[in-house]
Each structure stands twice: as structure tokens, then as C-alpha cells.
Amino acid sequence: MTPGTATVAFYGDSYTEGIGASDPSLRWSTIVCAARGWREHNVSVNGLGFVRNRVEFGDRDTVQQTIDARPDIVVVTMGLNDNFAYPLTPAAIREQIGRDLRRIRSALPDARLIVVEPFWYTDERPESVPVIIGWVRAAAAAVGADWVPGASRWIEGRPEWMASDGLHPNDAGYAELARRMDAALAALGL
């Protein structure tokens, strides 16, 4: 892989799909890829979690779509939506985080795997947020993935960076996420 030739797959939720942006070209993943000359393969889905709103597992799920892209780099930005399932299924969430990351690592042993601290959308943080962040971080370490810390607080306290729905970033919020992610990737040597 030479600079500007990487295929980068994004496995994430609405924050990586770009819900709230005025155009898909303004979501953070597309901004980062455009600036770096990377080919983007984004299978992120609004409302998706490791277990939350996950209707398929296996041959046709988003993990498989990520694998099928045969990327040089995989960026995982999952976990936000699992906070809403946490009271009912904490053990299932923890297990599925590990399953997904092991599956990606096993299928793509030569890909650079980058796992991002799950995003969060309000200044208030339920007790599940740090728990799920800890599970994602531990699972990332277990498969030798790079870890991007701090993402759950990147737009905290900045209501002007939120779309009118109060749930997702707006164009300015996505620009900030792109700036922060680009800096985090540079810190990882990318």
C-alpha cells in the first residue's frame, strides 16, 4: 500500500454514515478519505450497534460487507447505540464486541485495524458509556488493533455542532470529527 492508494472500510453507526450532514460528502469519513486520497467503503448504518438494531449476523451482515471490500485499513466506530440495549443485554454486548473484532482480524490479518472509542452525543453520560468503552478497548487490544481514545468527548459541550435533531452532528460537527480523526490517524503513523 502506498500513500493515496489505500482502500479504507468503515464499520460504524449513524455518526460514520453521516446522518445530520447536509450531504454525504460532508461526513467525517468522506472528508478524511478525500484529504488522504483513500478509497472509502462505508457500510455504516443508522442505529446500528454490536447488538442494537443488528438484524443479521454472518454471511450478509455489515461485518461481512466490511470484510468483502478487502480493505487495507478497517476503521470500527461502533458502540454508541448499544448503550440503549445495555440494561437488557450487557453480556451479549460484551461478547459480540469481541466476536466482531476477532472476525475482522481473522478474515483480514494483513489489514490495519483501527478501533475508535465509541462516540457519544450528549454531555450527560449514563453509567453504560464508560463500561462499553472499556469493553471495546479491551477487545481491540485482544486482537492487536490500534485504539483511538477520547472520541466520545470530541463534540461534547458544543451544541452548535449538533444537527436540529439533537442526536447527530451537523456539517460543522462532522468537520470537527474529521479534524480530530485525521490528527488521531496521523498520531498512529497514517
Amino acid occupying residue 82: D
The owner of cell 459480540 is 96
| Three-class SS state of 162 | strand
From first to last of its 190 residues, the chain has per-residue pLDDT tens of: 455 689 999 999 999 999 999 999 999 999 999 999 999 999 999 999 999 988 767 677 899 999 999 999 999 999 999 999 999 999 999 999 999 999 999 999 999 999 999 999 999 999 999 999 999 999 999 999 999 999 999 999 999 999 999 999 999 999 999 999 999 999 999 9
Rounded Cα distance between 176 and 153, Å, is: 12
The set of cell numbers assigned to 129 is: 458509556
pTM: 0.94
